[in-house]
Amino acid sequence: MNKKMAKCIHENLDSILERWEYRMKDVEEERFFHFMPDELIDKTSREFAELMTSNLQYSEAINPEKLADFTEKVVRFGWSIKFVNKSIENFSDITFEIMEEEGVIDQSNVREYMKTFSKWISPHRNSIIDAYAVEWERTVKLQRIALQELSASLIPVFEKISVMPLVGTIDTERAKLIMENILDGVVKQRAEVVLLDITGVPVVDTMVAHHIIQAADAVRLIGAKCMLVGIRPEIAQTIVALGIELKDFTTTSTLQRGMQEALKLTNRKIVEVEN
Amino acid sequence: MNMRIPILKLGDILIVSIQWELDDQNAIQFQEDLLNRLHSKNARGVLIDLTPIDFIDSFIAKVLGDVINMSSLMGAKVVITGIQPAVAITLIELGIRLENVMTALDLENGLDKLQIELEA
């Protein structure tokens, strides 16, 4: 049975793929088949078919390396998990149709076929989806690391004055990172004033404010002063509306004014030179 | 082993450098010693340096807070220097904010701050 099926699929691979591509194009929100060059689609489809039929021919588990290769590729192409699932479903539907047309399956052996078929497709689907999930998690993790590297660096601007510009939403994990970076940076750079610039933080809620206050307190403990700068009008409104107390530390609307304050605190000022 | 923490006098400032992690008994001993010294030398300022300490538990943190409050009761200004980032995070997480204490990055800065504070 297996051999018969494999032979039939192999012989009709082109028509299977043709139908498969045609059906996949109908899947909603699918960009891959519309924007990618034809050769690439063809190549990927062939790889997919090969992967699908590989364990039918050799009746063994799928080659894990091939599987990993393939999933890595489709994650990069932006195939969603829904789309992958749909691909497998369509593929199995089409092979069934083709085999029926070719007369490999008839009334007498349909039951036996179903057995083989379920033994073939189900483990396949599981392993492909598993591999996809693993690959996806890996991608997300890499992106998170990349994001962390980009965010929260303490920049020494003047002697004794450092600035940390914050961009993007702050969650608990990031707040921890920010706190560690500030404290380590202050000690390393021997900063006396730290300006925390929240111009790029879209929302300041009680949680974010709590983290900022904690960071400011910790900075005070190690012997520096923390200032909150870049408070936009809407942020000021939310802070007051939420009843968040920021009395304990200096706040200014722009980094510029914050810098002036910081210079004042360290007994310095910027003067224009005479010509 | 009962290692007492040395308390040095410099002008009218007492300088304490805590060099090793204190256990509970040592911490209490330190509290008594410091207050006695403060009384006998009639010092006006206290500087506690924590640079070598990279771990602090809630009891030690509480004792430290107490010592600071007691010293200010006895009319001395206290400055704490060299709190390590990890220690600062622990203190904040324990909810110990040491609100009315001066802090400085290191001994030098601390002495400057204390001097300014005492002259004022």
Has the ipTM of the complex gone over 0.90?
Answer: no
Average confidence (pLDDT) over A28-44: 71
Determine contact, residues A92/A28, Cβ cutoff 8 Å: no
Choose one of A128, A149, A170: the last residue of a domain: A149
**Of the candidates A156, A214, A150, A241, which has an alpha carbon nearest to the alpha carbon of residue A228?**
A214
CATH topology of domain B7-119: Transcription Regulator spoIIAA (3.30.750)
For residue B104, what is the nearest residue in chain A, using CA coordinates? A223
Set of chain B residues whose Cβ sits within 8 Å of the Cβ of A187: 84-85, 105
Interface of A with B in 164-223 (CB under 8 A): 179-180, 183-184, 186-187, 190, 192, 214, 217-223
Q: Same structural domain for residues A39 and A144?
A: yes
Q: Same structural domain for residues A28 and A107?
A: yes
What count of other Cβ atoms lies within 10 Å of the Cβ of residue A199?
Answer: 15
What confidence score (pLDDT) does residue B22 get? 86
Pairing of strands A193-200, A161-167: parallel
Q: Same structural domain for residues A18 and A144?
A: yes
Interchain proximity B106–A217, CB inside 8 Å: no
Residue A237 maps to a domain: yes
Residue A273 maps to a domain: no
Q: Same structural domain for residues A140 and A126?
A: yes
Q: Same structural domain for residues A108 and A173?
A: no
What confidence score (pLDDT) does residue B31 get? 92
Residue A270 maps to a domain: no
- Domain ranges, residue A254: 155-265
Q: How many domains does chain A have?
A: 2
Q: What is the pLDDT of residues B49-77, one digit of tens each?
A: 999 998 888 888 888 888 888 998 888 99
Look over chain B and give the mean of its residue pLDDT values, rounded to a whole number: 89
What confidence score (pLDDT) does residue A33 get? 67
Best of B105, B108, B109 to substitute, by most chain A Cβ atoms within 10 angstroms, is: B105
Taking the CA of residue B33 and the nearest CA in chain A, the distance in Å comes to 24
What confidence score (pLDDT) does residue B111 get? 93
For residue B95, what is the nearest residue in chain A, using CA coordinates? A214
Query: Residue B68: phi, psi to the nearest 5?
Result: -65, -45
Determine contact, residues A170/A196, Cβ cutoff 8 Å: no
Q: Same structural domain for residues A39 and A64?
A: yes
Q: Which residues pair with B81 in a beta bridge?
A: B49, B104
For chain B, the maximum distance between any two Cα atoms, rounded to a whole number of angstroms, is: 42
Euclidean distance between CA atoms A193 and A264, whole angstroms: 11
Q: What's the CATH code of the domain at A172? A: 3.30.750.24
Q: What is the pLDDT of residues A39-98, one digit of tens each?
A: 777 777 777 777 777 766 555 556 777 777 777 777 777 777 777 888 888 888 888 788
Confidence of residue B96 (pLDDT cuts 50, 70, 90): confident
Taking the CA of residue A51 and the nearest CA in chain B, the distance in Å comes to 51
Q: Same structural domain for residues A134 and A189?
A: no
Q: How far is CA B71 from the centre of its chain?
A: 9
Set of chain B residues whose Cβ sits within 8 Å of the Cβ of A179: 89
Interchain proximity B92–A222, CB inside 8 Å: no
Interchain proximity B88–A218, CB inside 8 Å: yes
Taking the CA of residue B1 and the nearest CA in chain A, the distance in Å comes to 30
Interchain proximity A218–B106, CB inside 8 Å: no
Check whether A273 has a pLDDT greater than 60. yes
Q: What's the CATH code of the domain at A25? A: 1.10.490.10
- Please report, in angstroms and rounded to a whole number, the separation of the first and last CA atoms in chain B: 42
DSSP string of A102-127? Answer: HTSS-GGGHHHHHHHHHHHHHHHHHH
- Tally A–B CB contacts below 8 A: 52
Interchain proximity A223–B85, CB inside 8 Å: no
Residue A136 maps to a domain: yes
Taking the CA of residue B27 and the nearest CA in chain A, the distance in Å comes to 20
Average confidence (pLDDT) over B23-46: 91
Q: Which residues pair with A163 in a beta bridge?
A: A155, A195
Residue A130 maps to a domain: yes
Determine contact, residues A62/A127, Cβ cutoff 8 Å: yes
Q: What is the pLDDT of residues A190-210, one digit of tens each?
A: 999 999 999 988 888 888 888
What confidence score (pLDDT) does residue B40 get? 92
Q: Which residue has the higher pLDDT, B78 or A129?
A: B78
Please name the helix (run of DSSP H) or strand (run of DSSP E) that holds residue A147, with its range, or none: helix A110-150
List chain B domain ranges: 7-119
Euclidean distance between CA atoms A131 and A139, whole angstroms: 12
**Which residue among A184, A192, A217 sits closest to B92, beta carbon to beta carbon?**
A217
Burial class (CB in 10 A: 0-12, 13-18, 19+), A81: middle
For residue B103, what is the nearest residue in chain A, using CA coordinates? A223
Q: Same structural domain for residues A132 and A10?
A: yes
